[in-house]
Structure 1
Amino acid sequence: MSKAIITCALTGVLTDPREHPVPVTPEELAASAHEAWDAGAACMHVHFRQQGAGRGHLPSWDPALAVEIAEAIRGACPGVILNFTTGTVGRDQSGPIACIRAGRPEIAACNAGSLNYLKTRSGGGWAWPPMLFDNPVEKVAEIVAAMNEVGTRPEFECFDTGIVRSVGMFAEVGMVSRPQVNLVMGVASGMPADVALLDVLVRYLPAGATWQATLIGRTEIWPVHARVAELGGHLRTGVEDTFYMPDGARAPGNGALVGALARIAHEAGRGVASADEARAIWGLA
């Protein structure tokens, strides 16, 4: 098996920085990325948040901010691969497209299908109003075309089994070649973070696809990370996905989470890929 590429999901969206250790400013993102880089992450998945007191839990699609953050991270981690978020609810993707064109990341997330985005509270009732995370084919095609304009590779985010299979269809009709797939497991209304399900999912990956898994949760995610490494997949962690170390302790930040994932890769008999090695594996070089 090839070396494992580790992606660090630096911050995510909506998590309140007053309650959790999520970086928000360009300086904070660069410092956190540097810790993750030193621990073994070759790629940084980046969300952009509004700047200023009391606004850091809200997303921003300001292309100038995207460029400022990208330059700060590249300066802190020379040679790093950047992966921009693009997810929006609704048909308007002008913000993500502007950020891709301005920041020119090597990779960008591409949500590959729609999902009822739901969560319940333990006492009954919804944690938030039920919503549709809508990603019809024409929306996917539009963002992929924008990525192609600047040489950005789409990473297809798959929240359910049918979405995994849809990526294969995107390849069949010529929307993409040699797709890069991210199995997103642990969203309450999507695929659970389950080793048994992972063993099934890999059978349905498009031919020739490279893949990784995003695992959202607490201590239950770490055995699934280990199985991803054993199966030859690539790895992702960060405070977007979890705040908990394998022993259940609260993670102090992204560097510690990446370090734990690097140990899992080595335990599976795989080295950890440098950024240049990651580019070769992903076909970016």
Structure 2
Amino acid sequence: MDKAILTCALTGVLTNPQQHPVPVTPAQMAAEARDAFNAGASVMHVHLRRQEPGMGHLPSWDPDVAEAVIGAIREACPGVIINLTTGTVGPDVSGPLACIRRVRPEIAACNAGSLNYLKLKDNGDWAWPPMVFDNPVAKVQQYLDVMAECGTHPEFECFDVGIVRSVGMYLKNGMARGTVGVPEYNFVMGVASGMPCDTDLLALLPRYMAEGGVWQATLIGRGEIWPVHQRAAELGGMLRTGLEDTFYLPGGARAAGNGVLIEALAACARNAGRSVATPAEARRLLGLH
């Protein structure tokens, strides 16, 4: 890709807005999206939060919340591409599916495999009780069926190499039949029990994609992520950052918001000799119309 598609991950799942400057309300989400849009992000990856006072650290699957948040972002960023999260633990996917049907995003995340989701404290204790982020094939199929129904393009989120390889099986099996766009992979690196943020590993992953696929890298961490972002730009991938993924700019300063993170990501693209894609260019490259 000569053009670099930039995605902003605006807020994430459980970050407490009382401790970190993450947006929660429709107005806050729209303002952060506008800053990122002005800095070059053509795609907004959206997580929804509970809107009741004191509950903004918890996720929401209320279609009314989805409609309010997505509507505010679309109004603030004319032409923006919405990428809606769908990640849930457990078999009940009725909330994510209801939100897709309500707002009909052009893209939705499709977590493509299961992962033991683990993290340790420095003393060796678990940071949270060990859990499984469960995404069995039947669950993936439920998401893909509704994405096909709604004209939504799946972005396959891959936390490990085996999950990258599984996506090719899904496609060959016909699981994504009826969905729009070219195969899109999101290599998620930096989860403690998943793929590490590593430039050498990143360079290997595209060889395991389906023919005609495109990819981006989601890099979770602090200063160590920025050399990997630069390598992703040099390898021709799409680029993503935002307050969901990091609070830190190159050099280690804390980011005040999403706009400055996207500015730093755009600089990675330019350093690699690439220009930043407009929303119209991003749609063409992803095969969205």
TM beyond 0.5: yes
Q: How far apart are residue 52 of structure 1 and its match?
A: 2.3
Instruction: Specify the alignment match of 1:253 in structure 2.
Output: 257
Does the Cα contact within 8 Å between 2:7 and 2:240 map onto a contact in 1? yes
RMSD: 0.7
Aligned to 1:161: 161
Matching residue of 1:199: 203
Looking at structure 1, the residues matched to 75 and 104 of structure 2 have their Cα atoms a distance apart, in angstroms, of 15
Deviation >4 Å, runs of 4+: none
Partner of 1:221: 225
Q: Is the 8 A contact 2:145 2:176 kept in 1?
A: no
**Residues 111, 157 of structure 2: 8 Å contact kept:** yes
SS in 1 for 2:124: coil
Equivalent AA in structure 1 for residue 63 of structure 2: P
Question: What residue is the counterpart of 2:24 in the other structure?
Answer: 24
Q: Equivalent of 1:184, from 181, 184, 188?
A: 188
Residue 92, structure 1, aligned to residue 96, structure 2: no
Unpaired runs of 5+ in structure 1? none
Task: Give deviations 1:104-152, integer Å, cap 9, x for gaps.
Answer: 0000000000000000000121000000000000100111000111100
| Separation (CA, whole Å) in 1 of partners of 2:260 and 2:62 | 30
Residue type at the aligned position of 1:274:
T
Deviations for 1:71-114, whole angstroms, at most 9, x for unmatched residues? 10000000000000000000110000000000100000000000
Specify the code of the residue in structure 1 equivalent to 2:77.
Answer: C
Report if the CA contact (8 A) 2:148-2:176 is conserved.
no
Give the letter for the 1:196 counterpart: D
Q: Quote the offset at 1:203 in angstroms.
A: 1.5
Q: Is it true that 1:239 corresponds to 2:246 in the alignment? A: no
| Deviation digits for residues 11-70 of structure 1 (CA, Å, limit 9, x no counterpart) | 001100001010000000000000000000000000000012210000000001101111
Aligned equivalents of 2:256, 2:276: Cα separation in 1:
22
Mapped to 1, the partners of 2:190 and 2:124 lie a distance apart of 20
- TM-score, normalising length from structure 1? 0.99
Amino acid at match of 1:232: G
Is the partner of 1:236 in helix, strand or coil? Answer: strand
Q: 1:267 aligns with which of 252, 267, 271?
A: 271
Question: How many residues align structurally?
Answer: 285
Distance 1:193 1:124 in 2: 21
Partner amino acid for 1:62? D
Residues 1:279 and 2:286 are matched in the alignment:
no
Partner of residue 63, structure 1? 63
Q: Secondary structure at the match of 2:274?
A: coil
Please give the alpha-carbon distance, in whole angstroms, between the structure 1 residues aligned to 2:186 and 2:174: 19
Q: Which runs of 5+ in 2 are unaligned?
A: none
Report the residue type matching 2:191 in the other structure.
V
Q: Percent identity?
A: 66
Counterpart code for 2:209:
L
CA distance, structure 1, for counterparts of residue 261 and residue 62 of structure 2:
29
Whole-angstrom distance in 2 between the partners of 1:9 and 1:47: 8
CA distance in 1, matches of 2:147, 2:256: 34
Letter of the 1:6 partner, please give it. L
Per the alignment, residue 214 of structure 2 pairs with 210
Separation in 2, partners of 1:53, 1:239:
21
The residue type paired with residue 123 of structure 2 is G
> 2-side partners of 1:138 and 1:52: how far apart?
33
The Cα of 1:238 is off from its aligned counterpart by 0.1
Normalising to structure 2: TM-score of the pair?
A: 0.97
Distance 1:281 1:2 in 2: 10
Paired residues of 2:11 and 2:243 also in contact (CA < 8 A)? yes
Alignment partner of 2:246: what SS?
A: coil
**Alpha-carbon distance in 2 for matches of 1:230, 1:176:** 29
SS at match of 1:155: strand
Partner of 2:76: 76
Deviations 1:179-226 (A, max 9, x none): 110000000000000001111112112211111000000010001001
Rounded Cα–Cα distance in structure 1 between residues aligned with 2:168 and 2:141: 14
